[in-house]
């Protein structure tokens, strides 16, 4: 699919990958880019960096009424949405690194809302129109954590896996209607989400810039890929996981031990002001 000539929506467009997606969609020739974010000032900043071809929305993607308003007002002003990028995301680490059940119910519910229901609400709002027009694309920013795992955050890992599950259903059900679905699944990307020592010991395959991640997203959209992997190694890890699950769990446990040590020394360094 080509972005040129399309009306594009990007959620979480105020920062990081979403901000880059919005700027790049404009450079690729989108006729309009609607930038939505919980942080309205950040959404406005991205939209004003684009200029006349953009609008900004305060939107909590976990609230269906906010997504409906975003779609309704964008389509009224700019025309049918050709590409909806569900990108907003949050991360919270397990309070107890040794216990993946230690996060609160509220934490699970919030991430479920942002990572899963937001994608459901977006599809509910745009898919009927896309079916009628026999065209449209949904790009859902998920994560390599949705295909593999996220050490230290079962909330993130679990909800991102669910996001993959929903996207698969969506892709299968809408393919014959001329609609495309892609999941963007990077590992580490240097953004607001990952600032401040987040990657201590965990940047196994390198942390990429948001620009590089979005380059891969655009290339993946152009090639009409379902799974877009900005870090090529993720495909190898998926193969290893499918071939020998037990061995993969063992390898991840080894990585977790390494991360636990790196975290401990990072926290000790922070405690002494180093
Ligand atoms: N940074 C990484 O290493 C990484 C890796 C894999 C996947 N991802 C995913 O990429 C996406 C973008 O994250 P990022 O790294 O650019 O982080 P970021 O924190 O820089 O940007 C996320 C944006 O989403 C917005 N947001 C959060 N909750 C929202 C809500 N309920 N409604 C609307 N907006 C909301 C935030 O205000 C922020 O502007 C997320 O889905 C994240 O899970 C990030």
Per-residue pLDDT of the chain (274 residues; tens, 9 = 90+): 999 999 999 999 999 999 999 999 999 999 999 999 999 999 999 999 999 999 999 999 999 999 999 999 999 999 999 999 999 999 999 999 999 999 999 999 999 999 999 999 999 999 999 999 999 999 999 999 999 999 999 999 999 999 999 999 999 999 999 999 999 999 999 999 988 766 665 666 889 999 999 999 999 999 999 999 999 999 999 999 999 999 999 999 999 999 898 878 777 776 544 3
Question: Contact at 8 Å (CB) between 211 and 20?
Answer: yes
- Give me the pLDDT at residue 272, please: 47
- Give me the pLDDT at residue 262, please: 84
For residue 147, give every residue at least 6 positions away whose Cβ sits within 8 Å of its Cβ, in sequence order, or none: 161, 164, 185, 227, 234, 237, 238
Say if residue 43 is exposed, middle or buried (CB neighbours under 10 Å; 0-12, 13-18, 19+).
Answer: buried
- Give me the pLDDT at residue 100, please: 97
**Model confidence, pTM:** 0.96
- Give me the pLDDT at residue 273, please: 44
The atom number, within ligand 1, closest to the CA of 141 reads: 41
The atom number, within ligand 1, closest to the CA of 17 reads: 16
- Give me the pLDDT at residue 263, please: 79
Cα–ligand 1 centroid distance for 90 (angstroms): 5
d(CA 35, CA 11): 6
For residue 123, give every residue at least 6 positions away whose Cβ sits within 8 Å of its Cβ, in sequence order, or none: 138, 166, 170
- Give me the pLDDT at residue 264, please: 81
- Give me the pLDDT at residue 256, please: 94
Query: Which of 35, 59, 66, 89 has the most ligand 1 atoms within 8 A of CB, as the residue to mutate?
Result: 89
- Give me the pLDDT at residue 274, please: 39
Residue ranges of E strands in the chain: 7-11, 32-37, 54-58, 81-86, 136-141, 179-184, 189-190, 208-209, 227-228
- Give me the pLDDT at residue 205, please: 80
Cα–ligand 1 centroid distance for 16 (angstroms): 7
**Residues annotated as part of the active site:** 156
- Give me the pLDDT at residue 87, please: 98
């Amino acid at each position: 699919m080509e972005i040129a000539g399309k009306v594009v929506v990007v959620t979480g467009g105020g920062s990081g990958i979403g901000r880059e997606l919005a700027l790049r969609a404009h450079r690729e020739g989108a006729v309009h880019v609607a930038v939505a974010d919980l942080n309205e000032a950040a959404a406005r900043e991205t939209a004003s960096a684009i200029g006349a071809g953009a609008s900004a929305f305060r939107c909590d993607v976990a609230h269906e009424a906010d997504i409906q308003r975003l779609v309704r007002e964008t389509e009224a002003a700019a025309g049918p949405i050709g590409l909806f990028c569900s990108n907003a995301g949050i991360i919270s680490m397990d309070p107890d690194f040794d216990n993946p059940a230690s996060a609160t119910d509220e934490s699970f519910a919030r991430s479920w809302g942002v990572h899963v229901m937001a994608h459901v609400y977006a599809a509910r709002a745009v898919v009927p129109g896309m079916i009628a027009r026999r065209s449209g694309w949904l790009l859902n920013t998920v994560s390599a954590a949705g295909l593999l795992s996220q050490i230290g955050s079962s909330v993130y890992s679990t909800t991102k896996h669910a996001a993959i599950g929903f996207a698969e259903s969506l892709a299968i059900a809408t393919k014959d209607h001329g609609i495309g679905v892609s999941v963007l699944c990077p590992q580490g990307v240097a953004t607001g989400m990952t600032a401040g020592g987040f990657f201590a010991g965990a940047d196994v395959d390198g942390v990429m810039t948001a620009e590089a991640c979005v380059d891969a997203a655009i290339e993946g959209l152009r090639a009409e890929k379902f799974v877009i992997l900005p870090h090529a190694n993720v495909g190898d890890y998926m193969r290893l996981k499918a071939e020998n699950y037990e061995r993969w769990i063992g390898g991840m446990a080894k990585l977790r031990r390494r991360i636990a040590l790196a975290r401990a020394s990072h926290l000790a360094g922070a405690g002494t002001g180093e």
